[in-house]
Every structure is written in C-alpha cells, then in structure tokens.
Amino acid sequence: MIDLVTLKDYLKRLNQDKKYLSYLKSINKKNNLTNIKKFFNKYIFISIIDFKEGNYDKLFSTNKELKKYIKKNPDKKCDKKMVKEEEIYRIFLRQLVY
C-alpha cells in the first residue's frame, strides 16, 4: 500500500511540494494520506510512463490536457492491469483510460 512518505516524495520530484503545502494552508487541513490523495486527484496529471522515466516536466494542469497528450502520444499509454499490480503508481490512474 502506498504511504504518505512515498506520495510526498512524488510531489517533491514533480516540484509540487510547496504547492501542496499552500493547498493545505488554504483549506486549513493537516498533512495526511487523505489530503495528499485529494491533492493528487485535483492537481497532479502526468503519464505514468513519463513519471517512471523521470519526465517530470510533462505534468499537466488538467485531466483533459493529459488525455489529449496521451491521445497524441500513444506510446505514453500504460496498461491499467500492470499499473494496478505496481501499486505505487495507482495514484496516477484516476479517470484515465489506459
């Protein structure tokens, strides 16, 4: 199971750790697994392939932008079954069709 430390590391890699802290402050909530998952669902949109390859600059603002990017770059698609087996990447699945 994915933990808070791993997700915080992901945010740091994506250079989103400060944005996350601002988000917590704005909603007046504490740093916990539930809130970090909500942040990922709302603000972190990246292809799992790009994330695994370290292409952190391929982070998008919306799910729609990410879907458009994956449609143009089918090699960035990842098999949903494989991702579910590699639990550490599940946070990136959300509503995408892989």
64-90 burial code (b ≥16 CB/10 A, e <16): eebeebbeeeeebebeeeebeeeeebe
Question: H or E stretch including 18?
Answer: helix 17-27
pLDDT at 96: 52
The closest of 9, 34, 10, 13 to 24, measured between CA atoms, is: 34
SS3 98: coil
Taking only the tens place, the pLDDT of each residue in 65-95 is 999 999 999 999 887 777 777 778 888 876 5
pLDDT at 97: 45
- The DSSP-derived string for 17-73 is HHHHHHHHHHHT----HHHHHHHHHHH-B--HHHHHHT-GGG-BSSHHHHHHHHHH-
SS3 96: coil
pLDDT at 94: 64
Taking only the tens place, the pLDDT of each residue in 9-66 is 999 999 999 999 999 999 999 999 999 999 999 999 999 999 999 999 999 999 999 9
pLDDT at 73: 95
